[in-house]
Amino acid sequence: MKDKDEKYKVCILTAGVGSRMGHFSESINKGILPINNKAVISYIIEKFPVDTEIVIAVGHKKDTVIDYLKLAYPDRIFNFVEVDKYTGPGSGPGYSLLACKKYLDCPFIFSTADTMVLEDVPLPEENWIGVAPVRETEAYCTIKMKNNLIYQLDTKIKTDNKFAFIGLAGIHDYKEFFQH
């Protein structure tokens, strides 16, 4: 951050059932499914300094997530937030983020538990979202940009938008974010 003392938090959403993972997420939360012998959630956690507070939205197989994170990262600061509605109508990332709102009282980085990026994650010095080009848009939340600004957002429809949201965003204006 511009001011080295300005704090930010990380919010990782892992409450959902991981229905797109099929049978792989029946007995384990999608966030702790292994990729190269490491839980997928670890790839995002390890992008941040040890003293960064991490808010984790839990629901489906929550005990496996909590137990794993406490064991794997005993020196990390976690706040676990139980999401009461993590499947069916009305559930989703927006609902999970709202459940975490009281812990997100400063700029924060939002990530889904199964987001993996090779690059360093930008700090939330301004509002930003991570995108990647896609060919088939029907499975994604897609955006259109002009002059580096988003002017259209479409959710899981066939469109000429070529950039999909990857499940990673920086929220600098957190008060305004939660007002809308």
**More confidently predicted of 66 and 31:** 66
Running DSSP on this structure, what letter comes out for residue 93?
A: H
- Helix (H) / strand (E) element for 71: namely helix 62-72
d(CA 142, CA 140): 6
Q: Would you list the DSSP string of 26-68?
A: SSS-GGG-EETTEEHHHHHHTTS-TTSEEEEEE-TTHHHHHHH
- Indicate the pLDDT class of residue 133, thresholds 50, 70 and 90: confident
Q: What is the mean pLDDT of residues 136-140?
A: 75
Q: Using CA atoms, how far apart are residues 180 and 84, in angstroms rounded to an integer?
A: 21
Region 159-179: mean pLDDT is: 88
User: Could you state, in order of their start, the residue ranges of all structural domains in the chain?
Assistant: 9-125+167-179
53 beta partners = 77
Average pLDDT over residues 120-137: 89
Q: Provide the pLDDT confidence category of residue 30 given band limits of 50, 70 and 90.
A: confident
C-beta of residue 122 within 8 angstroms of C-beta of residue 107: no
Instruction: Find, among 32, 29, 30, the residue nearest to 69 by Cα.
Output: 32
CA atoms within 13 A on the CB side of 154: 17
pLDDT at residue number 99 = 93
Share of the chain above pLDDT 90, in %: 49
Q: What is the pTM of this model?
A: 0.85
The reported pLDDT for the residue numbered 1 is 53
Count of residues in the chain: 180
> Residue 108: its pLDDT value, please?
98
**Which of 23-27, 77-81, 157-161 is predicted with the least confidence, judged by mean pLDDT?**
23-27
Residue 12 has pLDDT above 70, yes or no: yes
- Taking 90 as the threshold, does the pLDDT of residue 13 lie above it? yes
The distance between the two most distant Cα atoms of the chain, rounded to a whole number of Å, is: 46
Residue with tokens 């080009």: 133
Structural domain 9-125+167-179, CATH architecture: Alpha-Beta Complex (3.90)
| Tokens coding 70 | 């406490």
Mean pLDDT computed over 87-105 = 84
For residue 48, the Cα-to-chain-centroid distance in whole angstroms is 14
Q: In the predicted model, is pLDDT for residue 111 greater than 70?
A: yes
Token pair in block for residue 153: 């957002």
Please state, rounded to an integer, the average pLDDT across all residues of the chain. Answer: 85
